Amino acid sequence: MNMRTGEEGYHYGVMRRAIELIDQGEGNLSLEQLAGQMNMSPAHFQRLFSRWVGVSPKKYQQYLTLGHAKALLQEHFTTLEAAHSVGLSGTGRLHDLFVRWEAMSPGDYARHGQGLVIYWGWFESPFGPALVMGTDKGICGVGFAAETTAEATMEDLLSRWPKAEFIEDPMRLRPWVLNMFNAASDRLEPTPLYLIGAPLQIKVWEALLRIPSGQVTTYSEIAEAIGNPRAVRAVGTAVGRNPISWIIPCHRALRKSGGLGGYHWGLPVKRAMLAYEAARAEA
């Protein structure tokens, strides 16, 4: 299996270790204490963090604390109605990433991928090794292996479209992947997504695409937005089954209490994603 771990994978490993130490210190570690426990100077930790997110943020270790999600909910909660109107008025970007998408028809979805050719490849990402899959129409799957294993991540995505033909071809996917992990706004071509799911899942995933980067929402807010306020549990399940992690930002969905909820690829990845976006938004 062709999976490389380079500088980006190293950066995620450092942040993963920092999250563990912050939790053990119950969120009270100063930057100096945290860096000391990681056997590096505070300046070196700050440099690594800045390289990881691509900017020099105002805060460092605070983004990684367990209480950060609750703070996001208090300070950066967005209703999807507001997100939609901001996007329509053109005064803000709906997403750091420039995307367009189409959904597979319910009839085709019922065939479990029969007749579909899906290309796949492993790539480095800010959140560890990423498995990316796509058809000729766009990216249809993104999974992360840092908290699971490469084998488990591959098996998970393969099982979603059991009758498809899978071909390893990272070079075909590479231009889309470069867009995925690069929030530069000067690209002319949006990254295409191909949503393969049941009708309710598609509705939920489209609602997730309306949450701006650096903002969060709740499962109940998503249920309201899709016109089914009592379907919070079903919404939670659909969020958890999102096959295109990171681009469809299911990591921005939290519990009303400020709890993280779950994350299919491991909660440390979700925390790292929220920290990464908050640091970029506030820099």
Return the bridge partners of 195, or none.
Answer: 103
Residue linked to tokens 């062709």: 2
Q: Which of 250, 260, 273, 275 is catalytic?
A: 250
| Stretches in the chain below the pLDDT threshold 70 | 1-6, 79-98, 183-188, 283
Long-range residue pairs from 171-176, CB within 8 A, at least 24 positions apart, any chain:
171/121, 172/119, 172/121, 172/134, 173/119, 173/120, 173/121, 173/123, 173/132, 173/133, 173/134, 173/139, 174/121, 174/123, 176/132, 176/134, 176/138, 176/139
Does residue 250 carry a catalytic annotation? yes
User: Is the CB of residue 240 less than 8 Å from the CB of residue 250?
Assistant: yes
Provide CB contacts within 8 A for 279, sequence distance 6+.
49, 53, 55, 57, 59, 63
Predicted pLDDT at 150: 96
The strand pairing partners of 244, in sequence order, are 142
Residue 269 exposure: Cα atoms within 13 Å on the Cβ side: 23
Integer Cα distance of 264 and 279 in angstroms: 23
Q: How far, CA to CA in Å, does 196 sit from each of 97, 156, 183, 251?
A: 20, 15, 24, 19
Distance from the Cα of residue 120 to its chain's centroid: 18
Q: What is the pLDDT of residue 95?
A: 45
The pLDDT value given to residue 264:
94
pLDDT digits (tens, 9 = 90+) for 230-239: 999 999 999 9
Residue 243 φ then ψ, to 5°: -85, -15
Nearest Cα to Cα of residue 54 among 142, 154, 160, 126: 126
Q: For residues 64 and 23, what is the distance between their CA atoms, to the nearest angstrom?
A: 9
Q: How many CB atoms lie within 10 A of CB 164?
A: 20
What's residue 1's pLDDT? 45
* Dist CA 96 CA 238 (whole Å): 22
Q: What is the pTM of this model?
A: 0.88
The phi, psi pair for 244, rounded to 5°, reads -115, 70
Question: Residue 29: what pLDDT?
Answer: 84
Give the torsion sign (CA, 206, 207, 212, 217). negative
CA–CA dist 214, 81 (Å, integer) = 17
